[in-house]
Structure 1
């Protein structure tokens, strides 16, 4: 058992580290291959870092690079994450941000004239995949990721929707700096980025599961031991075809748990019936997966 625990800790560490490095490459490629050549702004702290870079480049005798400002703007948010989310989570967030800043610096922008629509689509998609993959592995990419997670824990608001809302300021800034046509493309890449994040990072989505079975106890034991979820039991249900006595089980899970519950139900009662539907909001006592 000690060896297994050691292996799990090592695997978890390597998966988080890999996710941080994958994100750092994704954000650097999105920024320097698509957003910078396309003259558009990214979302969140990356977008603010680009804005500061543009302003200093145009109006000051010195230029603050996007990579430098990306790191500097994240420093106060490291403190927020350390106290409000978790120490291990914040440690890997720092790794992701430092690696991202480094990759932005060493991966140089392309000098190309690609169609801005292409830049918006590919930039938003690549960054969204990198960010979503990082969040799925339990780490943040810094910036409004941290604020979004704190707000989601308090209100249940979708991370992608929050991401889109807070970036209206970025879109306005892009309009003043690059023109309103580029602001439209910035809005498009921010929207795509948010949608891709939500598609990849599914842990925050809640699912209602209804199970109709003749062997409820085995399923209940499996769910409670694997996921620690509450279950509502409806007795005395009846199948219309064979008129057998059935039991209906209702529970709410994270989408992240969907594979596990399917395996539990299949192993306990392969003849059971299970339906799954997405839930917009959950009120009452629902235990979120811990972020440490």
Structure 2
């Protein structure tokens, strides 16, 4: 368990470093804006510098923006996910202060693409190990725990507002290159983690009762138990069906490995869910 936690912290550190490097070496020098809370911090820092005598660094703004979200996540989601997510945000803020803003290339298209790849790699590995880069990811978890609310429209509205504001203040060409970054980063996150917000897990096990209790202790999700029988062995087993969000995949995988390492698990992408899929 200690080894697993150590590895998870190392992954979070690596993800935060990649995120900050992508920002300070590619996006910030080219005036290309990131998505989510990072984009807000980046744009707000630039606006304060240009239109007021106040200077607040992007790293500090990112940390400040995530504090109320972290408090909300602590109360509504759970300690583990929120702690690791806030560690990721704090480290990203620190690395944004430590890594100098220095362009690697003068080509704005290369900055858009490679910045998107590097930032998304940091986000993707962080998500894959059961944490997040904060901001909208925590809000998505809160919404999924309270009601079956998709985060997509909120992300679209926020990112659209960032692009429109950046275009209005600093030119539409930079705003269009921001769209290139958003497309590239989305594709890379999809490749590393999963593009679907919801997943369905089918778990065939001989330890259905133990596994059910362990999953319920970790996740607030309903489980459907289906009788199953092996075609070759003719043995009777149980199949558990559970719908989860992509943020819960890491916890589910760890629970299955701990309770029944021999269980057969099939994870399927789920495009739509009708009705609540939480455990009441």
Taking structure 2 as the reference length, the TM-score comes to 0.74
**2:269 — aligned with what?**
278
SS at match of 1:45: helix
How many residues are matched?
263
Unpaired runs of 5+ residues, structure 2, are 217-222
Q: Is 1:79 matched up with 2:71?
A: yes
Aligned-residue Cα RMSD (Å) equals: 3.8
Report if the CA contact (8 A) 1:56-1:63 is conserved.
Answer: yes
Report if the CA contact (8 A) 1:37-1:113 is conserved.
Answer: no
| Between 67-76 and 221-230, the greater mean CA deviation after superposition | 221-230
Report the alpha carbon displacement of residue 194 of structure 1 after superposing the two structures with TM: 3.5
**2:116 — aligned with what?**
124
| Between 100-109 and 186-195, the greater mean CA deviation after superposition | 186-195
Q: Is 1:205 matched up with 2:205?
A: no
Alpha-carbon separation, structure 2, partners of 1:47 and 1:250: 40
Taking structure 1 as the reference length, the TM-score comes to 0.72
Report if the CA contact (8 A) 1:15-1:137 is conserved.
Answer: no
Report if the CA contact (8 A) 1:174-1:186 is conserved.
Answer: no
Report if the CA contact (8 A) 1:210-1:275 is conserved.
Answer: yes
SS at match of 1:37: coil
Residues 177-236 of structure 1 show CA distances to partners (whole Å, capped at 9, x for unaligned) of: 32111111112322333443344344953236498xxxxx8486797587674223489x
Residues 105-142 of structure 1 show CA distances to partners (whole Å, capped at 9, x for unaligned) of: 11111245432222222222222221232233222322
Q: Is 1:231 matched up with 2:231?
A: no
Alpha-carbon separation, structure 2, partners of 1:231 and 1:146: 29
Unpaired runs of 5+ residues, structure 1, are 1-7, 212-216, 267-273
SS at match of 1:230: strand
Residues 213-262 of structure 1 show CA distances to partners (whole Å, capped at 9, x for unaligned) of: xxxx8486797587674223489xxx9xxxx9x9996834558468969x
Task: Specify whether residues 200 and 155 from structure 1 end up closer, same or farther in structure 2 by C-alpha distance, changes over 3 A only.
Answer: farther
**1:26 — aligned with what?**
18
Q: Is 1:179 matched up with 2:171?
A: yes
| Between 113-122 and 97-106, the greater mean CA deviation after superposition | 113-122
**Higher Cα radius of gyration:** 1
Report if the CA contact (8 A) 1:123-1:189 is conserved.
Answer: yes
Report if the CA contact (8 A) 2:24-2:96 is conserved.
Answer: yes
Alpha-carbon separation, structure 2, partners of 1:19 and 1:131: 10
Task: Specify whether residues 87 and 285 from structure 1 end up closer, same or farther in structure 2 by C-alpha distance, changes over 3 A only.
Answer: closer
Task: Specify whether residues 75 and 287 from structure 1 end up closer, same or farther in structure 2 by C-alpha distance, changes over 3 A only.
Answer: same
Task: Specify whether residues 11 and 165 from structure 1 end up closer, same or farther in structure 2 by C-alpha distance, changes over 3 A only.
Answer: farther
Matches within 5 A, 1:43-122: 43-122=35-114
